[in-house]
């Protein structure tokens, strides 16, 4: 039975989930839709862009005049400015990806970010070419906690869902992995927004500790 290892990106491989909130907050402010950062962070953390966009347009109806992809692009300059100020790689997670890739394991990224955002992030942390497939927001109709993205990644890799291990940091991601019938390893980093990852099969503070 083909096994596979499926990784979330933001907050799991790259410490960027905590940056998307301020980036989106700056974008909203520039559009005359300033919002409390606690609300913005709650909307962003661990969720697909399609879900984020739906919440934004519900709270600020005038944003519906801006297509989803255009609004996503508008936040990128703010995000890149924040990224340039810090090292976003999560060392233990990057080390695990490299170890599994070197062993010839089947790997995928399953992210709520756009395909271009995933590509930029993987290049930034030196993992371009490490994954057999990438499932991004454009590839699915429903984001996490729906299991669609993880099941699509498994099909692309020719892996049985029961033989897949998911690495996640968010409550929505953990729920998606379990709903897909996969084993789930949750990464719980200190000083990050608390997430209910109790349904996970294993919780680690450093993914380099993981042994297949």
Residue 26: both structure tokens together = 């700056």
Distance (Å, rounded) from C-alpha 125 to C-alpha 204? Answer: 21
pLDDT band at residue 114 using 50, 70 and 90 as cut-offs: confident
pLDDT band at residue 89 using 50, 70 and 90 as cut-offs: very high
Q: pTM, whole model, 2 decimals?
A: 0.81
Task: Please write the tens of the pLDDT for every residue from 150-159.
Answer: 999 999 999 9
Mean of the pLDDT values across residues 67-88?
87
What's phi and psi for 14, nearest 5 deg? -115, 140
Q: What is the pLDDT of residue 41?
A: 86
Task: Please write the tens of the pLDDT for every residue from 166-212.
Answer: 999 999 999 999 999 999 999 998 877 788 999 999 999 999 999 98
Asked whether the bond before 145 is cis by omega within 30 degrees of 0, the reply is yes
Distance (Å, rounded) from C-alpha 163 to C-alpha 97? Answer: 17
Q: Are 135 and 110 in contact (CB under 8 A)?
A: yes
Task: Please write the tens of the pLDDT for every residue from 53-63.
Answer: 999 999 999 99
Q: Are 172 and 12 in contact (CB under 8 A)?
A: no
Instruction: Quickly list DSSP for 87-115.
Output: --B-HHHHHHHHHHHHTT-EEEEE-SS-H
- Taken in order 5, 194, 171, 136, the sign of the CA dihedral is negative
Q: Are 48 and 143 in contact (CB under 8 A)?
A: yes
H or E element at residue 118: helix 115-124
Please give the residue that has the higher pLDDT: either 83 or 133. Answer: 133
pLDDT at 17 over 80: no
Distance (Å, rounded) from C-alpha 9 to C-alpha 15? Answer: 9
Distance (Å, rounded) from C-alpha 9 to C-alpha 111? Answer: 6
pLDDT band at residue 16 using 50, 70 and 90 as cut-offs: confident
């Amino acid at each position: 039975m083909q096994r596979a290892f499926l990784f979330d990106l933001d907050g799991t491989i790259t410490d960027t989930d905590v940056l998307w909130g301020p980036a989106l907050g700056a974008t909203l402010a520039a559009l005359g839709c300033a919002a409390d950062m606690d609300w913005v962070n709650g909307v962003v953390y661990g969720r697909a862009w399609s879900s984020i966009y739906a919440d934004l347009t519900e709270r600020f109806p005038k944003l519906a005049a801006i297509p989803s992809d255009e609004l996503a692009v508008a936040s990128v300059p703010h995000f890149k400015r924040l990224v340039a100020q810090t090292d976003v790689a999560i060392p233990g997670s990057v080390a695990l990806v490299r170890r599994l890739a070197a062993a010839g394991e089947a790997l995928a990224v399953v992210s709520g970010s756009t395909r271009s955002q995933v590509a930029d992030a993987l290049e930034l942390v030196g993992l371009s070419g490490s994954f057999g497939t990438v499932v991004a927001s454009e590839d699915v109709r429903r984001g996490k906690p729906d299991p669609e993205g993880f099941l699509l990644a498994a099909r692309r890799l020719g892996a049985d869902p029961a033989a897949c291990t998911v690495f996640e940091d968010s409550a929505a991601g953990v729920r998606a992995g379990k709903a897909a019938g996969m084993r789930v390893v949750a990464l719980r980093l200190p000083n990050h927004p608390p997430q209910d990852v109790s349904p996970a099969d294993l919780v680690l503070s450093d993914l380099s500790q993981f042994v297949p």
